[in-house]
């Protein structure tokens, strides 16, 4: 295969609950640590690293199936390229330790305790890095909206809520690698039970599943007749149905979505007080709503949480490249790994 002394050919993989996306990314050698080299103090919207190709495959929760799907996606990209791959990065939802081993992985429980990096290195013969998927989104956001010294929060709103933290230009992992799990901040100790064992976790209100719960709660109290009619039964109401009717302007769905945006703002207000970011990037499945969500959240922050928003010029943005953000961030982490190793 062809090698290029001026660029790195890296592959990023984002392992989701239903799909695994792999992207081949071409990066200049001088830009592997950050795609943005500006020394400006204000965030800038830089051109994204060049995504050359992508491969989407179905996901499974079983260890062998997940590894096979990752391998299939990577191999498909390599088969369509005449470039040698330099490194691979993989993003997984869950608690990923500093050693790259998953301690929890809701989308791929079969990978808990598995050395995925070693398995993929054996298969492809290149260095592999594994990280939390929201960390990957944060790295992608830093490459597009950040500066070498900026602070950025990435919050992924999907089935649950994940988070990635960039402080002073560096990804913050915490003492054990588990930093950035805001979905389990308790915002109501008397709230609904969470699978984690707590009550009233933020993700019970402000995730895709939380939006469905708000819809079911409203329907159970006779306040969402159109949503109930669309779903057919109470237990079939989910976030997608609420969002669909909200986009059609149905009054009950608009009210529920506005309440949902308020819960998103509540959690973000707490994070703003803790980390004082310049930019907050919303990723995950709900990021496709773009300004429909971010505008409501921004307005709610200003009206209801003055302590968090006072004297802070915080931008709230949708994740760059939408569903490709996680794969791009994983590729950037792979390139950073090469830079540290001197490869």
Q: Which two tokens stand for residue 249?
A: 């302007």
What does the pLDDT read at residue 40?
34
Return the DSSP state at 87.
E
Residue 33 pLDDT: 39
Which two structure tokens, joined as six digits, stand for 64?
Answer: 């062998």
pLDDT for 82: 87
**291 and 335 fall within a common domain:** no
172 pLDDT tier (thresholds 50, 70, 90): very high
In a domain, 167, yes or no: no
Q: Domain holding 303: CATH number?
A: 3.30.420.40
- The mean per-residue pLDDT over the stretch 89-107 comes to 89
For residue 2, pLDDT over 70 is answered with no
pTM for this model (two decimals): 0.84
d(CA 218, CA 5) in angstroms, rounded, equals: 59
pLDDT band at 27 (very low <50, low <70, confident <90, very high): confident
Does residue 137 belong to any structural domain of this protein? yes
Q: Are residues 36 and 49 in the same domain?
A: yes
Same domain, 309 and 194: yes
Structural domains counted in the chain: 2
Winning range, highest mean pLDDT, from 135-149, 229-243, 282-296: 229-243
pLDDT digits (tens, 9 = 90+) for 30-79: 443 333 322 333 333 344 566 778 888 875 555 568 888 899 999 999 99
Q: What is the per-residue pLDDT for 29?
A: 59
Q: Which two tokens stand for residue 266?
A: 């509540």
Burial of 282 (0-12, 13-18, 19+ CB in 10 A): buried
Do residues 296 and 222 both lie within one domain? Answer: yes
Q: Answer whether residue 170 is part of any domain.
A: no
Residue 64 is predicted with a pLDDT of: 65
Output the CA torsion sign for 57, 62, 66, 72. negative
| Residue 55: both structure tokens together | 């491969």
Closest CA to 113 of 134, 89, 96: 96
Rounded mean pLDDT of the chain?
A: 86
Residues 41 and 66 in one domain: yes
298-309 mean pLDDT: 88
Query: Cα dihedral angle (262, 266, 268, 273), rounded to 10 degrees?
Result: 150
**Statement to judge: residues 191 and 257 lie in one domain:** yes
CA 91 to chain centre: 9
Residue 22: predicted pLDDT: 92
Could you tell me if residue 305 is inside a domain? yes
- Is residue 302 within 8 Å of 295, Cβ to Cβ? no
pLDDT digits over 309-339, tens only? 777 888 899 887 777 888 999 999 999 988 7
* 299 and 194 both lie in a single domain: yes
Query: How confident is the model at residue 45, as a pLDDT?
Result: 39
Per the domain annotation, does 173 fall within a domain? no
Say yes or no to pLDDT of 139 above 70: yes
Domain that holds residue 308: 181-277+285-318
pLDDT band at residue 261 using 50, 70 and 90 as cut-offs: very high
Measure the CA–CA gap between 336 and 332, rounded to whole angstroms. Answer: 6
Confidence of residue 11 (pLDDT cuts 50, 70, 90): very high
Is 82 domain-assigned?
yes
Q: Kindly report, residue by residue over 196-250, the tens digit of the pLDDT.
A: 899 999 999 999 999 999 999 999 999 999 999 999 999 999 999 999 999 999 9
pLDDT higher than 80, residue 267: yes
Q: What angle do CA 210, 211, 212 make, to 5 degrees?
A: 90
What is the SS3 assignment for 49? coil
Higher pLDDT, 313 or 137: 137
In a shared domain, residues 245 and 290: yes
Can you say whether residue 40 is alpha, beta or left, with left for phi > 0 and alpha for psi between -120 and 50 degrees? beta
What's the confidence (pLDDT) of residue 285?
Answer: 84
Per the listing, tokens 């907050």 go with: 280
pLDDT at 235: 95
Q: Quickly state the pLDDT bin for 189 (edges 50, 70, 90).
A: very high
| 64 within some domain | yes
Task: Tell me, yes or no, whether 303 lies in a domain.
Answer: yes
Sheet of 279-283, strands arranged across: 170-172, 161-167, 152-157, 279-283, 315-318
- For the chain, the residue count is 343
Distance CA 239, CA 256 (A): 10
Say how far apart CA 151 and CA 175 lie, in whole Å: 19
What is the pLDDT at residue 94? 87
Same domain, 40 and 67: yes
pLDDT for res 52: 79
Q: Are 187 and 313 within one domain?
A: yes
Residue 83, burial from CB neighbour count under 10 angstroms (0-12, 13-18, 19+): middle
Cβ-count burial of 310 within 10 angstroms (0-12 exposed, 13-18 middle, 19+ buried)?
exposed
Domain identity same for 314 and 329: no
Same domain for 18 and 121, yes or no, is yes
């Amino acid at each position: 295969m062809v090698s290029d002394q001026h660029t790195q050919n890296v592959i990023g993989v984002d392992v989701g609950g239903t799909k695994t996306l792999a992207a081949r990314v071409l990066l200049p050698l001088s830009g592997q640590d950050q795609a943005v080299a500006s020394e400006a103090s204000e965030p800038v919207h830089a051109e994204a690293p060049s995504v050359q190709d992508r491969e989407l495959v179905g996901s499974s929760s079983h260890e062998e199936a997940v590894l096979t799907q990752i391998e299939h996606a990577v191999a498909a990209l390599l088969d369509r390229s005449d470039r040698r791959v330099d490194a691979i990065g993989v993003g997984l939802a869950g608690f990923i330790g500093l050693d790259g081993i998953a301690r929890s992985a809701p989308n791929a429980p079969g990978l808990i305790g598995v050395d995925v990096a070693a398995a993929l290195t054996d298969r492809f013969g290149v260095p592999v890095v594994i990280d939390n998927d929201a960390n990957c989104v944060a790295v992608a956001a830093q490459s597009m909206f950040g500066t070498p010294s900026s602070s950025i929060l990435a919050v992924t709103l999907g089935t649950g809520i994940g988070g990635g933290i960039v402080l002073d230009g560096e990804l913050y992992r915490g003492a054990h690698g588990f930093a950035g799990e805001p979905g389990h901040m308790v915002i109501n100790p008397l709230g609904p039970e969470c699978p984690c064992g707590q009550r009233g976790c933020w993700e019970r209100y402000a995730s895709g599943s939380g939006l469905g719960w708000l819809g079911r709660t409203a329907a159970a109290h006779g306040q969402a007749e159109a949503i109930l009619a669309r779903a057919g039964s109470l237990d079939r109401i989910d976030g997608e149905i609420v969002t669909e009717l909200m986009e059609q302007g149905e009054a009950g769905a608009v009210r529920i979505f506005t309440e949902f945006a308020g819960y998103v703002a509540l959690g973000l207000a707490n994070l703003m007080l803790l980390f004082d970011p310049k930019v907050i990037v919303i990723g995950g499945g709900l990021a496709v709503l773009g300004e429909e969500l971010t505008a409501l959240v921004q307005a709610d922050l200003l009206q209801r949480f003055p302590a968090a928003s006072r004297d802070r010029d915080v931008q709230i943005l949708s994740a760059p490249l939408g569903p490709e953000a996680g794969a791009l961030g994983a590729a950037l982490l792979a390139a950073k790994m090469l830079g540290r190793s001197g490869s």
